[in-house]
Amino acid sequence: MSIFTEFREFIARGNVVDLAVGVIVGAAFNDIVKSLVDDVVMPPVGLMLSGFDFANLQWVLKADNPLTKADELVAIKYGHFFNISLKFVIIAWVVFMLVKGVNAVRRFEDEQAGKPVVPPKPPTPQEALLIQIRDLLEAGRKG
């Protein structure tokens, strides 16, 4: 089997194509969420903080020499790190709320369509045996 045939089979697998679609959609979704955070959420946060920008907070390790053209400033920019961390928390919250909303809509649609709630699958024989072993070990520790 040639390397190209093997590569073609690898690419043709459904999970690889699904992963590629997920990455592309995720990148586009990232732009939407970034815009939501930067353009909708952060302006009121900045207003609440009276226009204070954490990005300017830093510990200067070596000051910039104003007599040279080169930028010689060496600093730990903890304010920028704080801003990025805050944006991450906000993005995570927004994504959580979006997923929660989508799940609520799906549950509502399933209830309206009269679809039964799918019960969990019973454990396989191997899983049942492992559960029994676990329970016996726990009972042995207690007694």
Domain presence at residue 143: no
Look up residue 104 and give its amino acid.
A
Do residue 117 and residue 94 come from a single domain? yes
Asked if 94 and 45 sit in the same domain, the reply is no
Residues 36 and 68 in one domain: no
Supply the mean pLDDT for the chain: 83
Whether 17 maps to a domain, the answer reads yes
The two tokens of residue 91 are 């993005």
3-state SS class at 75: strand
Distance CA 132, CA 43 (A): 56
Q: Is residue 18 part of a domain?
A: yes
The answer to whether residues 76 and 59 touch, using CB atoms and an 8 Å cutoff, is yes
Query: 35 with 82, same domain?
Result: no
Express each pLDDT in 20-76 by its tens digit.
888 888 888 888 877 877 788 778 877 887 877 777 788 988 888 777 777 888 899
> Within this chain, do residues 20 and 64 fall inside the same structural domain, yes or no?
no
- The parent domain of residue 82 ranges over 53-137
